[in-house]
Amino acid sequence: MTQDLQAGQASTRYTLRVEGMSCAACSSRVQRTLDKLEGVQSASVNLATHLATVMAGPGVGEERIRASVEGAGYGVEVVRHEDTAAALATRPDDGPALRRLVLAVVLATPLMVLGMAHIQASWSFAVQAVLGFLVTYVAGWNIHTTALRRAWHMDTTMDTLVSLGATAAYAYSMVAWLSSDSPHVYFETAGGIVTFILIGRYLEARSKSRATDSLRSLFAMRPTQATLLRGEGEAIVPIEVVRVGDRLRVKPGERVPVDGVVREGASSMDES
């Protein structure tokens, strides 16, 4: 967090890592929650990086911000300002998404074959029921747990629709199988819904990982220090402590650490 001066009042900038956001509706909900918090001057939430930036007055405090986000049903961790660049450049772990996808595809393939073959035999229905359960509720457990957490907070997301659709198909198929000699079951529909969603989640996780790799290369070029002029002397300080109105010296060969206006001196600069 850092201290700034806005409209004559001291304000604090908080950077938060928000866990549990799975769609744009989630990030919008977190931002609305923060905007409604008394004393918050501005808030922005980035779904891709799972980071939120909050500018708040002196009466808000870290605990109130944390409590408001947790009250909305999301996990939150306050990131120190000097660690923000590292947090942005941290590569998301797409391993769990890949493992869930592999499990779903391996189980859904024979499930689809049996479902499309329309084999009217007890063994076929039993195998489909087992495979459907494993795909829907084991490979896709995070979808249903997220939907339940949102329901606990009287809220809905895309996971709610997916969970309801897959559960309806599976529950109907179970009732039809147990109550009829020639049932029309849709176990493969339940498994298919979850599998296709997991494919999308994995592709999204891969895209985020690649985007983070690009961010990491950019942050590697980012200056971490600035030469701050203080009276007749100068001091090398982290760029996080530089404030509007400070005077900096940029020496030949250095990268320009922040945006500013040239007050003294002349030189040439590569802006590429």
Same domain, 102 and 72: no
Task: For residues 153 and 212, state if they share a domain.
Answer: yes
Read off the tokens for 215.
Answer: 């961010």
Examine the fold and report which residue of 31, 60, 88 is the final residue of a domain before the chain moves on. 88
Residue-level pLDDT at 91 = 60
- Reading the block at residue 47, the tokens are 């779904």
270 belongs to a structural domain: no
Range of weakest confidence among 50-54, 73-77, 82-86, 100-104: 82-86
Is residue 117, in this structure, part of any structural domain at all? yes
**How confident is residue 185, by pLDDT bands cut at 50, 70 and 90?**
very high
Shared-domain flag, residues 141 and 63:
no
Our CA angle for 121, 141, 177, nearest 5°, is: 20
Please tell me whether residues 182 and 198 are part of one structural domain: yes
Residue after which a domain boundary falls, among 68, 88, 108: 88
Residues 248-257, mean pLDDT to the nearest whole number: 84
Which of 62, 59, 56, 61 lies closest to 41, judged by CA? 56
Give the pLDDT score at 89. 52
* Bridge partners, residue 6, by sequence: 9
Q: What is the pLDDT of residues 14-29, one digit of tens each?
A: 888 888 887 788 888 8
pLDDT at 196 over 90: yes
Flag whether pLDDT at 141 surpasses 50: yes
Quote the DSSP letter at residue 137: I
How many domains are contained in the chain? 3
Domain boundary pick from 183, 199, 216: 216
Distance (Å, whole) CA 203 – CA 208: 9
Q: From residue 147, how far is each of 74, 160, 163, 211, 251 by CA, in Å?
A: 12, 5, 7, 28, 55
Residues 20 and 82 in one domain: yes
Given pLDDT bands bounded at 50, 70 and 90, which one contains residue 7?
very low
Q: What is the pLDDT of residue 101?
A: 94
> Do 138 and 251 fall within a single domain?
no
Range of the domain at 113: 95-216
